Amino acid sequence: MSAFSPRVAVIVVAAGSGTRLGAGLPKAFVSVGGLTLLEHAVHAVNGMSSHARLVAVVPAERADEVRELLRPLASEAVVVAGGASRQASVAAGLAVLDEAIEVVLVHDAARAFTPSEQFDAVVEAVDAGGEGVVPGLPVSDTIKRTDAAARVVDTVDRSELVAVQTPQGFPRGILEAAYAAAKEEATDDAALVAAIGHPVRIVAGAALAFKITTPADLARAEQLFGGSALTQRVGLGTDTHAFADGGELRLACLAWPGVPALAGHSDGDAVAHAIVDALLSAAGLGDIGSVFGTDDPRFAGAHGDVFLRAVRERLAETGWRVANVSVQLVGNQPRFSPRRTEAEAVLSGILGAPVSVSATTTDGLGFTGRGEGVTAIATALVASRRPIS
Ligand code: CTP
Ligand code: MG
């Protein structure tokens, strides 16, 4: 848990069995383009303009697996076991909200590709009106009422109809009161809120917020967000530091006893810093100075892994993951080869992706050849399964 508690929670219900999809596993664990529907839904929550508490409601037997799955993506997510119905699952999510939460959004993991902007719009409308808010789309089919024998009784005026989606947002107290009073099963949260006499307003929904219910829906999702929708970007970063007079070197997130430290505001870990710049540049997120502030006292003396972990988190929040990193150290010392695989293991562990490290000298030429300092050069590849503008 961070010191900062968000005031908005998003309960993502993902505990259903997916009977109509018939994939042989719970629907939220079906993959599209290499990521589960649950992960896609979490990326959408991460893309919200302000940080929200994520509560994932999942099948009880998968709770531990989901905690692992979400660790790199949403490390502060609360994972709870769902119930026998959607309503019971939402209630399980409501039960674990912390005190700071004022606004609750309830979202179906099955609407995995809902744009983050739709979450933002719902929060904004709840804040503006203090009442329930549900995204919806006009109905385009002509709707008939039928009898038990499948005979048409009449045509319903579709101009009065709206097909509603999620996330559905409410002031916390209203949603809790609605759930406390609920007597019958409803298929959405707005119905329960309306049942206790509170108004619910519609805001514009989005076509991409469609619910994956049947195999045809999954095929559509695969077409839109499958392999071909993978976005990949490369980035480059370099960093140079001079050796200081004393101290102990930190490089590639390892300590190097007997080698003098590199000078710098942080620990001077040129390898880590070059990787940070390569990752930020690949994702279009700026550079180490603009993101962390080279003068920021919080990073004075900070080790390289602090920056690397923060960048990984930042990438996850914006829908990116690290595909791989390659970094080369240029300098006379330390002698890198004996610890190359150790450095690769440590860096790969921090970033959750393969990092290859190499080292070279410059044949006695230049500042590196004279042993005055080192340079590191990194390239990084980042990937996203969501369309990135
Ligand atoms: N849901 C849930 N707990 C349940 C039932 C449903 O958390 N006991 C969630 C689903 O995981 C889904 C959302 O509610 O994200 C909407 O439900 P639906 O699309 O009906 O999903 P399933 O119930 O899984 O599918 P089906 O009805 O075809 O079995
Ligand atoms: Mg269902």
Distance in angstroms (rounded) separating the CA atoms of residues 206 and 121: 11
CA of 211 to the centre of ligand 2 (A): 11
Q: Block means of pLDDT (10 residues each) for the chain, length 389 residues?
A: 76 97 96 90 90 96 94 90 97 97 98 95 97 97 96 95 98 98 94 97 96 97 77 95 93 96 90 98 94 80 92 88 95 95 94 93 96 97 71
Q: Could you tell me the two tokens for 328?
A: 């080369």
Q: Is 108 in the pocket of ligand 1 (CB under 6 A)?
A: yes
Q: Are 215 and 363 within one domain? A: no
Q: Please tell me the predicted confidence (pLDDT) of residue 227.
A: 65
Boundary of a domain, candidates 225, 250, 273: 225
CA of 366 to the centre of ligand 1 (A): 64
Q: Are 202 and 250 within one domain? A: no
CA of 104 to the centre of ligand 2 (A): 21
Q: Are 162 and 182 within one domain? A: yes
Q: Are 185 and 60 within one domain? A: yes
Q: Please tell me the predicted confidence (pLDDT) of residue 319.
A: 82
* Burial status of residue 94 (CB atoms within 10 A of its CB: 0-12, 13-18, 19 or more): buried
Q: Could you tell me the two tokens for 60?
A: 């009880």
Q: Are 125 and 267 within one domain? A: no
Determine the residue of 86, 106, 213, 217 to mutate for testing ligand 1's pocket, defined as the one with the most ligand atoms within 8 A of the Cβ atom: 86
Q: The CATH number of the domain where 344 resides is what? A: 3.30.1330.50
Q: Please tell me the predicted confidence (pLDDT) of residue 386.
A: 60
Q: Is 188 in the pocket of ligand 1 (CB under 6 A)?
A: no
Determine the residue of 25, 94, 108 to mutate for testing ligand 1's pocket, defined as the one with the most ligand atoms within 8 A of the Cβ atom: 108
Q: Could you tell me the two tokens for 346?
A: 């440590």
Q: Are 372 and 253 within one domain? A: yes
Q: Please tell me the predicted confidence (pLDDT) of residue 93.
A: 98
CA of 16 to the centre of ligand 1 (A): 4
Q: Are 191 and 67 within one domain? A: yes
CB of 386 within 8 A of CB of 43? yes
Q: Are 79 and 210 within one domain? A: yes
Boundary of a domain, candidates 225, 254, 286: 225
CB of 30 within 8 A of CB of 62? no
CB of 281 within 8 A of CB of 237? yes
Q: Is 228 in the pocket of ligand 1 (CB under 6 A)?
A: no
Q: Is 25 in the pocket of ligand 1 (CB under 6 A)?
A: no
Q: Please tell me the predicted confidence (pLDDT) of residue 350.
A: 93
Start-to-end C-alpha separation, the chain: 31
CA of 16 to the centre of ligand 2 (A): 6
Q: Is 89 in the pocket of ligand 1 (CB under 6 A)?
A: yes
Q: The CATH number of the domain where 84 resides is what? A: 3.90.550.10
Q: Strand (E) positions, the chain? A: 8-13, 31-32, 35-36, 53-58, 78-81, 103-108, 132-138, 143-146, 152-156, 162-164, 168-171, 200-204, 231-242, 249-251, 254-256, 321-330, 355-360, 373-384
Q: Are 236 and 219 within one domain? A: no
Length of the chain, in residues: 389
Q: Is 86 in the pocket of ligand 1 (CB under 6 A)?
A: yes
Q: Is residue 3, in this structure, part of any structural domain at all?
A: no
Q: Are 330 and 290 within one domain? A: yes
Q: Is residue 335, in this structure, part of any structural domain at all?
A: yes
| Predicted model pTM | 0.66
Q: Are 286 and 333 within one domain? A: yes
Residues spanned by the domain of 260: 231-384
Q: Could you tell me the two tokens for 245?
A: 């007079």
Q: Is 165 in the pocket of ligand 1 (CB under 6 A)?
A: no
Q: Is 235 in the pocket of ligand 1 (CB under 6 A)?
A: no
Q: Please tell me the predicted confidence (pLDDT) of residue 203.
A: 98
Q: Is 83 in the pocket of ligand 1 (CB under 6 A)?
A: yes
Total domains present in the chain: 2
CA of 307 to the centre of ligand 2 (A): 43
Boundary of a domain, candidates 208, 225, 242: 225
Q: Are 267 and 170 within one domain? A: no
Query: Which residues lie across from 11 on neighbouring strands?
Result: 55, 106
Cβ-Cβ contacts under 8 Å for 12 (sequence gap 6 or more): 38, 41, 42, 45, 54, 55, 56, 57, 107, 108, 109
Distance in angstroms (rounded) separating the CA atoms of residues 232 and 229: 10
CA of 91 to the centre of ligand 1 (A): 14
Q: Is 37 in the pocket of ligand 1 (CB under 6 A)?
A: no
CA of 61 to the centre of ligand 2 (A): 18
